[in-house]
Structure 1
Amino acid sequence: MKYHLISLGCQMNASDGERVRTVIEQMGYTWTEEETEANLIGILACSVRQNAIDKVYSKIAKWNRWKNRSNLITFVSGCVLPSDHEKFLKLFDIIFQMKDLPNLPEMIHQYGITTPNGIQNGFDTHNDNITEFWNVKPDYASDFEAFVPIQNGCDKFCSFCAVPYTRGREVSRPSSEILAEVRSLVGRGYKSITLLGQNVNSYGLDKPDTEIMFPELLRQIGEMGNQLASEFWVYFTSPHPRDMTDEVIEVIAQYKCLAKQIHLPLQSGDDKLLIAMNRKHGLEKYRQSVTTIRRLIPEATLFTDIIVGFTGERDEQFDATRAALKEFNFNMAYIAKYSPRPGALSHRWFDSVPLEVKKERHQVLTEDLKLTSRNYNESMIGKIFRVLVKGPAKHEGYLAGMTEGKINVRFLTDNTDLIGQIVDVKIKSATDFSVEGDLIN
C-alpha cells in the first residue's frame, strides 16, 4: 500500500507533516511521489490563505474522480476553518485535527464511520490532546535541517488572521521534550534547527507556575550548544513584536549556536492600521526592538512579514510602510496581498482596496525591498561566511546554501558530499536576493 501527502502553507504544517508520515508508515504504507499510485492521499490545508484553500478544493475534486477506477482513501487536516471543515466533511473520507493524529490508524480502518462522527462533534479548537501529537516521533524530511514545534495555537486574534480559529488557543510544549529533541538532533548531525510556534516568544505564558519562559528556553539551548562539539544554528519563528523583550535579544547575542537572524513580523508601518489589525504594538515598540537588535547583534539579518492592501489602507499609510521598510533595512520581507478569510474579524469588513491597487503596492514594496536587500548583499563581497550547503543550485556545476543569516549563496563545485555540511565561502558578487562566492578549502 502506498500513500502521498501534501503540506500547504507555513513551516508549522511542514513540521506537522513529518509526524503524519510517521503514523502512516507505522501502518505499513510506503511513500510515493506519484498521486496516481497512492491508496491513501492526504493534504494538510491552510485556511489562512485563499490560494492555498483553493488548491485543496482542486485536489479533492480530482481525487474523488479517481475513486471511480481505484480504491482510494482521502484525508485532510492542518489549519482548517470551521466553514471549510463543514464543506470538507462532504468531500473527504476523513477529516481530523492534528491533536487527534494518534487516532488516525483507527480512522483509516473505519473511515466510513469517522465522517458522521465529525458532523456530530463539530469543530473543536481546544488543544487538550496536543501533547499526544507531540509525542509522535517525526519522520524528518531532511538529514540536516529540522523543525521543532514548541507551542501550538494563538491568543493574539489579529483581525486579519484565522489561526486562533484553526489551531485554537496557545499551548506550550514541555521544555524537557523540546530540549531532548534538540539534543537528539544535534547528536545526529543536524546543522539547522528551527523552533516553531505561532507566537514563539510567548512560550510558557500559559503555564507560568510550571514552565520556563522563552528567554530561558533559548538560554538552555545556548548552554547545550556550549557543551556540545558540533556546530549548529538554532532559529525560531515567528515571534510577535509585542512580546519581543530585550532579554530575548540579549540571550541570542550571548550564545554562538543561537542564529544571528531574526524574523520579526511588522505587517504595516502605520500605527492606525496596526490598531485596525489588532496587532497590539505600535511602530515605536517595533523600532525599540530593532534598535536593540542592531546594538547587541550588529551582524544579525532581519526578516519580516508585511500585508499590503489591508482594508482601509490609504496611500499615505502605504507610504508609511515603505518608509519603515527603508528605515529598518530588512534583508527579506514576505509581502502578502490582503485577502479576507472567513472566521477572521476583518472578513466582516468591506474589502475596500481594489485588487489592482494591491498588486501595484506589492510590486512597489518588492522593488524597495530589492534595494535594502542588495545593499546588504553587496556589503558581503570580499568577506568569508560560513554556509550550510543545501543542495544543487539552479546553475549546473554549482551548489547552493545559506549563511547563518539565511542569505542565499551559490558556489562552483561538483562535490555533492558537501551537502548538509557547513563550509567557508568567500563572497565575490551579489544580486538582489543572493550572493555568489568561492569555496574555501
Structure 2
Amino acid sequence: MKYHLISLGCQMNASDGERVRTVIEQMGYTWTEDEKEANLIGILACSVRQNAIDKVYSKISKWNKWKNHTNLITFVSGCVLPSDHEKFLKLFDIIFQMKDLPNLPEMIHQYGITTPSGIQNGFDAQNDNISEFWNVKPDYASDFEAFVPIQNGCDKFCSFCAVPYTRGREVSRPSTEIISEVRSLVERGYKSITLLGQNVNSYGLDKPDTEVIFPELLRQVGELGNEIGTEFWLYFTSPHPRDMSDEVIEVIAQYKCLAKQIHLPLQSGDDKLLIAMNRKHGLEKYRQSVSTIRRLIPEATLFTDIIVGFTGESDEQFNATRAAMKEFDFNMAYIAKYSPRPGALSHRWFDSVSLDIKKERHQILTQDLKLTSRSYNDSMIGKTFRVLVRGAAKHDGYLAGLTEGKINVRFLSENTDLIGQIVDVKIKSATAFSVEGDLLY
C-alpha cells in the first residue's frame, strides 16, 4: 500500500506534514513520489491564499476521476477555513483538523465519515488536544534541516489574514518538549533548525504562570548550543513587530548558535494602511526594532513580507512602502499581491485596487528590492562565509547552499558528500539574489 502527500502554503503546513507522514507510515503505507501509484492521497490545504485553494480543487477533481478505475482514499487537512471545510465534505473521503491526527488510522479504517456538525464542533475547540498532535514524532523531510513547531494559532486578527479562523487562538507548546526536540536534532547532526509559529515572539504569553516567554526560550536554546558545542543555526519564523522586544535581539546577539538572520514582516510602509490592516504596530515601532538589530547585530540579514495593492492603497501609500524598502535595506522581501480571503475581515471590503495596478506595484517593488539586496551581496565579495550545502545547483558541476544569513550561494564542486555539511566559501561574484564563490578546503 502506497501513499502520497502534498503540503501547500507556509512552513507550518510543511512541518505538520512531517507528523502526518509518521502516522501514515506507522499504518504500513510506503511513500511514493508518483501520486498515480498511491492508494492513499492527502493534501494539507491553505485557505490563506486563493491560489492554494484553487490547487486543492484541481487536484481533488483529478483524483476523484481516478476512483473509477482504482482503489483510492483521499483526505484533506491543514490550514482550512470552516467554509472551505463545508465544501470539501462533498469532495474528499476524510476531512480532519490537525489536532485529530492521532485518530487518522481509525478514520481510514472507518473510511472517514465526517458530518458538517462534526466539523463545526471541531472548530469551536480548534486547539483542544493539540498536545496529542505535538507528541507525534515527525518524519523529517531532511537529514540536516528541520522545523520545530512551538505554538499554534494567532491572536492578532490582521484584517487581511484568515489564520485565526483556520488555526484558532494562540496555544504554546511546552518549552520542555521544544528543547528536547531541538537537543535530539542537534545530537543527530542537524545543522539548520527553525522554530515555527504564526507569531513566535508571543510564545508563552498564553501561559504566564507556567511557561517561559520567547526570549527565555531562545536563551535556553543558546545555552544548549554552548553545552553541546557542535555548529548549528537556529532560526525562527514568523515574529510580529509589535512583540519584537529588545531582549529578543539581545539574546540573539549573545549566542553563537542563534542565527544572525531575522524575518520581520512589515506589510506596508504607511501607518494609515497598517491601521487598516489591524497590524497593531506603526512604522516608528518597526524602525526602532531595526535600529536595535543594526546596533547589536550589525552582521544580521533582514527579511520581510510586503503586501501591495491592499484595499484603498493609494499611490502615496505605495510610495511610502518604497521608501521603507530603501530605508531598511532588506536582503529579501516576500512580496504578495493582495487577494481577499473569505473569513478575513477585509474580505467584506471592496477590493479597490485593480489587478493591473497590483502587478505594476509588485514589479516596481521587486526592482527596488534588487537594488538593496544587490548592494549587500556585492559587499560579500572577497570575504569568506560559512555555507550550509543543501544540494546540487541548477548549473552542472556546482553545489548550492545558504549562508547563516540565508543568502543563496553556489560554488564549483561535484562532491555530493558535502550536502548537509557547513563549509567555507570565499565569494567572488554577486547578483541581486545570489552569490558565487570558491570552496575553501
TM-score (norm 1): 0.99
Asked whether the equivalents of residues 201 and 214 of structure 1 are also in contact (C-alpha less than 8 Å), the reply is yes
- What residue is the counterpart of 1:180 in the other structure? 180
- Which amino acid in 2 is paired with 1:270? D
Residues 23-55 of structure 1 show CA distances to partners (whole Å, capped at 9, x for unaligned) of 000000000001110000000000000000000
Residues 351-383 of structure 1 show CA distances to partners (whole Å, capped at 9, x for unaligned) of 000000000000000000000000000000000
The 1:122/1:99 distance shift into structure 2, 3 A limit, reads closer
Asked whether the equivalents of residues 222 and 255 of structure 2 are also in contact (C-alpha less than 8 Å), the reply is yes
Cα deviation for residue 262 of structure 1 reads 0.1
- What residue is the counterpart of 2:440 in the other structure? 440
Cα deviation for residue 111 of structure 1 reads 1.7
- Which amino acid in 2 is paired with 1:203? Y
Residues 207-249 of structure 1 show CA distances to partners (whole Å, capped at 9, x for unaligned) of 0000000000000100010111210000000000000000000
Cα deviation for residue 119 of structure 1 reads 5.4
Give the paired residue count: 441
Asked whether the equivalents of residues 107 and 114 of structure 1 are also in contact (C-alpha less than 8 Å), the reply is no
2:405 and 2:421 map into 1 onto residues whose CA distance is 16
Asked whether the equivalents of residues 4 and 38 of structure 2 are also in contact (C-alpha less than 8 Å), the reply is yes
- Which amino acid in 1 is paired with 2:262? I
The answer to whether residue 47 in structure 2 is matched with residue 47 in structure 1 is yes
Asked whether the equivalents of residues 86 and 116 of structure 2 are also in contact (C-alpha less than 8 Å), the reply is no
- What residue is the counterpart of 1:313 in the other structure? 313
Asked whether the equivalents of residues 99 and 126 of structure 2 are also in contact (C-alpha less than 8 Å), the reply is no
SS in 2 for 1:148: strand
Written as runs of structure 1 = structure 2, the 5 A alignment for 1:212-227 is 212-227=212-227
Written as runs of structure 1 = structure 2, the 5 A alignment for 1:48-197 is 48-115=48-115, 118=118, 121=121, 123-124=123-124, 126-197=126-197
Written as runs of structure 1 = structure 2, the 5 A alignment for 1:316-395 is 316-395=316-395
Cα deviation for residue 321 of structure 1 reads 0.2
- What residue is the counterpart of 1:420 in the other structure? 420
1:402 and 1:385 map into 2 onto residues whose CA distance is 10
Which residues of structure 1 form unaligned runs of 5+? Answer: none
Moved more, 291-300 or 115-124: 115-124
Asked whether the equivalents of residues 389 and 420 of structure 1 are also in contact (C-alpha less than 8 Å), the reply is yes
- What residue is the counterpart of 2:36 in the other structure? 36
Identity across aligned pairs (percent)?
Answer: 90
SS in 2 for 1:388: strand
SS in 1 for 2:333: strand
SS in 2 for 1:83: helix
The answer to whether residue 4 in structure 2 is matched with residue 21 in structure 1 is no
- Which amino acid in 2 is paired with 1:17? G
Quote the RMSD (CA, aligned, Å): 0.9
The 1:414/1:93 distance shift into structure 2, 3 A limit, reads same
- What residue is the counterpart of 1:300 in the other structure? 300
SS in 2 for 1:114: coil
SS in 2 for 1:336: strand
- What residue is the counterpart of 1:282 in the other structure? 282
1:157 and 1:395 map into 2 onto residues whose CA distance is 44
Asked whether the equivalents of residues 94 and 115 of structure 1 are also in contact (C-alpha less than 8 Å), the reply is no
The 1:288/1:63 distance shift into structure 2, 3 A limit, reads same
Cα deviation for residue 19 of structure 1 reads 0.0
Asked whether the equivalents of residues 429 and 435 of structure 2 are also in contact (C-alpha less than 8 Å), the reply is yes
Cα deviation for residue 125 of structure 1 reads 5.0
The 1:377/1:435 distance shift into structure 2, 3 A limit, reads same
1:316 and 1:21 map into 2 onto residues whose CA distance is 48
Which residues of structure 2 form unaligned runs of 5+? Answer: none
- Which amino acid in 1 is paired with 2:173? R
Asked whether the equivalents of residues 95 and 118 of structure 1 are also in contact (C-alpha less than 8 Å), the reply is no
Cα deviation for residue 123 of structure 1 reads 3.6
The 1:122/1:200 distance shift into structure 2, 3 A limit, reads closer
The 1:316/1:131 distance shift into structure 2, 3 A limit, reads same
2:171 and 2:120 map into 1 onto residues whose CA distance is 26
2:297 and 2:160 map into 1 onto residues whose CA distance is 32
Could you list the structure 1 runs, at least 4 aligned residues long, displaced by more than 4 angstroms after superposition: none
2:237 and 2:429 map into 1 onto residues whose CA distance is 29
Cα deviation for residue 118 of structure 1 reads 3.4
